[in-house]
A and B are shown apart, each in its own frame.
Chain A
């Protein structure tokens, strides 16, 4: 389908596809099997300017919008959502700086991020603060010209590999969510260490670790915006990246569909390819329809964001919920169409199914997203009354 992409967007999409096919597909099964993060792939993404996409032009980036990001994330996801998670998490960790950083902070960090020299992580989640972001227990105490951080962030994508970490910590516990603040912490700062690498069900080529702060002292200028803005920064950041999860869903579902169609044409049963069997065709037809519909919706939300819309929380949440639920269904169906082969690691379908599950969980579970959508609906209805 023609989605009215610009020439530049088509070029970026094609380049991302090339990276996916040439650099990611040949190694994805091995990375999955070995639970391994690949700097080679990150470097390939960097060399092709992918980390420049989301950085403004005045700081060495390309200043591209949400749709461009979605196109790249979708293409990378066709090969491996582990990789697209690494990439998207770097953007996620950078948004606090782009949205709320001072000019000095931007000058200091963004050019190196755009050049792909430094990877970024976003640290919000903790043992007692997942869906309930207000439950953050990591503290940041101002001492003279320094903040002193204490606490542990959990399940942080790119943790340990990222040179730049944007962290949400409490500067005033008495104020609850309004007492949270955002900081930049560089890898190598004394008192900043990493916990063990997590072993996950899927997206195993992405790295997930704890970030441990033990009297970690950072300069006062590493505060992003002002004290108390942490929660708002976190929410705006997640709003910005959330549609990308929908794009991940479209990518992995498209890949699963492609695998299923290819297999169905090759697999002979009852002396004909199973693709000639209507029961199989119907599954494929439903898969294809879901993928196309979701793609159109994800692109539409991305374009809505790119118009400069102020509030797109509800739409972004819808793209995330719908895209991830769709990806789960379609990848399960792909395994089903492929039968025993689909269940075997020799084919990529089972990995896609394992990988897809995370999309319903991370960046706010789909249940939380539904809360968000529901609340927005009620708010809108109240406004119109």
Chain B
């Protein structure tokens, strides 16, 4: 299959040239031409204002024979060290919403936890929980997890399966999808269903978040998505909600890989400023080590990293690994919150390409406001304290 431009329709607007992430479209005689390097990502199709880009040799993929027998939403509820992961509760919230819209049942699958965690899932909104409570499943291991989840899906045929886009979910869920020939969309940030086709509309960022894509799985079931933590809204917690817990025992949990040890490590030091979406950064305006703690607290609440100006590092409020700027790191998060940072050029060069820059500074003339998208003239300590209270 390939994409081509209907030269009769093409108006030579060059919109598709800019839309193509592979630079596979060029202009020839004022018409767009798609080159051999095209990866058929289809970015251009939706960009074309006159629908001049067409697909040739579109696949004749047929619906799988038992397509219509799939019904319901299943959430894989992750536990770590025996306790329920936050993302599991978020997914129950998202799953509940989808199930209600489709008018189907919401089930959950949980491995290596106990009755208490299963009951929690019900209180958050699940109607039925499949619980494998074997202690051997406490440690995450791809092969048994793949076997169990695949087994549950084969038996209960949910049309939608959700799992957290965590180290666990992103490791074993692809195996499940491969085994079941199911569609899988990674790291979704927004979910919906098309009630007419019952297709699952999965929105995810691509190209490092520079573009968003809606993914469909029109001919296969189930439709599986891993979902980014901290994005979905939790449902309502109802301690009185009743549901069914199905306690299951697998014949064995054999695996060719074995977890020898599971080590918990403080993640704060490991946060890579160049990879996080949010950075809260503090400067001299935080006033002292106590003030700088507010920066760290807010970063933690937002699930982001801690940045610092050179002044804050030199005052010893934090370590050099947090320094942003000429002599520190160059960062480009989605959101950069500069607190009490004057924004001298040495700092600005390290962060000015961030997508959104919220600058909080007492001095209305601080140069940081030249690069800021949001201007907050105030004492950063007061604002941060208020933010932390509200979160």
Measured CA separation A114–B278 after assembly (Å):
47
Nearest chain A residue, comparing its CB with the CB of B370? A268
A267 touches B345 (CB 8 A): yes
Q: Which of A29, A266, A267 contacts B327 (CB 8 A)?
A: A29
* B326 interface residue (CB < 8 Å to A): yes
Measured CA separation A347–B344 after assembly (Å):
14
Nearest chain A residue, comparing its CB with the CB of B326? A346
A266 touches B326 (CB 8 A): no
Measured CA separation A347–B326 after assembly (Å):
8
Chain A residues with CB under 8 A of B326:
346-347
Measured CA separation A29–B326 after assembly (Å):
12
Chain B residues with CB under 8 A of A346:
310, 326-327, 346
Task: Count A-side interface residues using an 8 Å CB cutoff.
Answer: 5
* B349 interface residue (CB < 8 Å to A): yes
Chain B residues with CB under 8 A of A266:
345, 349
Measured CA separation A29–B327 after assembly (Å):
9
Contact indicator per residue, chain B 319-363, by CB within 8 Å of chain A (1) or not (0)? 000000011000000000000000001100100000000000000
Measured CA separation A347–B346 after assembly (Å):
9
Report B386 CB to chain A, min CB distance, Å.
Answer: 34
Report A25 CB to chain B, min CB distance, Å.
Answer: 12
Which residues of B in the span 81-121 have a Cβ within 8 Å of any Cβ on A?
A: none
Report A320 CB to chain B, min CB distance, Å.
Answer: 33
Measured CA separation A267–B344 after assembly (Å):
10
Chain A residues with CB under 8 A of B310:
346
Report B167 CB to chain A, min CB distance, Å.
Answer: 28
Report B308 CB to chain A, min CB distance, Å.
Answer: 15
Which residues of A in the span 263-309 have a Cβ within 8 Å of any Cβ on B?
A: 266-267
Measured CA separation A347–B310 after assembly (Å):
13
Chain B interface size, under 10 / 10 to 19 / 20 to 34 / 35 or more: under 10
Nearest chain A residue, comparing its CB with the CB of B348? A266
Chain A residues with CB under 8 A of B327:
29, 346
Report B86 CB to chain A, min CB distance, Å.
Answer: 36
Measured CA separation A346–B323 after assembly (Å):
13
Which residues of A in the span 13-69 have a Cβ within 8 Å of any Cβ on B?
A: 29
Report A33 CB to chain B, min CB distance, Å.
Answer: 11
Report B312 CB to chain A, min CB distance, Å.
Answer: 15
Question: Which one of A29, A266, A267 has the greatest number of beta carbons of chain B within 10 Å?
Answer: A266
Measured CA separation A267–B345 after assembly (Å):
8
Measured CA separation A29–B345 after assembly (Å):
19
Report B237 CB to chain A, min CB distance, Å.
Answer: 49
Chain B residues with CB under 8 A of A267:
345
Chain A residues with CB under 8 A of B345:
266-267
Measured CA separation A29–B328 after assembly (Å):
11
Measured CA separation A236–B346 after assembly (Å):
47
Measured CA separation A346–B327 after assembly (Å):
6
Nearest chain A residue, comparing its CB with the CB of B367? A268
Report A344 CB to chain B, min CB distance, Å.
Answer: 9
Measured CA separation A263–B326 after assembly (Å):
12
Report B190 CB to chain A, min CB distance, Å.
Answer: 37
Chain A residues with CB under 8 A of B349:
266
Report B335 CB to chain A, min CB distance, Å.
Answer: 24
Chain B residues with CB under 8 A of A29:
327
Nearest chain B residue, comparing its CB with the CB of A29? B327
Report B345 CB to chain A, min CB distance, Å.
Answer: 6
Report B45 CB to chain A, min CB distance, Å.
Answer: 38
Nearest chain B residue, comparing its CB with the CB of A344? B346
Measured CA separation A29–B323 after assembly (Å):
15
Report B37 CB to chain A, min CB distance, Å.
Answer: 23
Measured CA separation A266–B345 after assembly (Å):
8
Report B319 CB to chain A, min CB distance, Å.
Answer: 15
Measured CA separation A26–B345 after assembly (Å):
19
Measured CA separation A346–B326 after assembly (Å):
7
Report B171 CB to chain A, min CB distance, Å.
Answer: 30
Measured CA separation A347–B327 after assembly (Å):
8
Contact indicator per residue, chain A 248-261, by CB within 8 Å of chain B (1) or not (0)? 00000000000000
Report A81 CB to chain B, min CB distance, Å.
Answer: 20
Report B360 CB to chain A, min CB distance, Å.
Answer: 23
Measured CA separation A267–B326 after assembly (Å):
14
Measured CA separation A106–B310 after assembly (Å):
52
Nearest chain B residue, comparing its CB with the CB of A347? B326
Report A73 CB to chain B, min CB distance, Å.
Answer: 27
Nearest chain A residue, comparing its CB with the CB of B346? A346
Nearest chain B residue, comparing its CB with the CB of A263? B345
Report B274 CB to chain A, min CB distance, Å.
Answer: 13
Report A21 CB to chain B, min CB distance, Å.
Answer: 14
Measured CA separation A76–B326 after assembly (Å):
21
Measured CA separation A346–B314 after assembly (Å):
13
Which residues of B in the span 283-336 have a Cβ within 8 Å of any Cβ on A?
A: 310, 326-327
Report B351 CB to chain A, min CB distance, Å.
Answer: 14
Report B241 CB to chain A, min CB distance, Å.
Answer: 55
Measured CA separation A153–B349 after assembly (Å):
46
Report A243 CB to chain B, min CB distance, Å.
Answer: 34
Seed contacts A266-B345, A346-B346, A347-B326; 6 additional CB < 8 Å A-B pairs: A29-B327, A266-B349, A267-B345, A346-B310, A346-B326, A346-B327
Q: Can you report 8 residue pairs joining A to B where beta carbons are below 8 Å apart?
A: A29-B327, A266-B345, A266-B349, A267-B345, A346-B310, A346-B327, A346-B346, A347-B326
- Per CB-CB distance, the 9 closest pairs between chain A and chain B, nearest first, are A346-B327, A266-B345, A346-B326, A346-B346, A347-B326, A267-B345, A29-B327, A266-B349, A346-B310
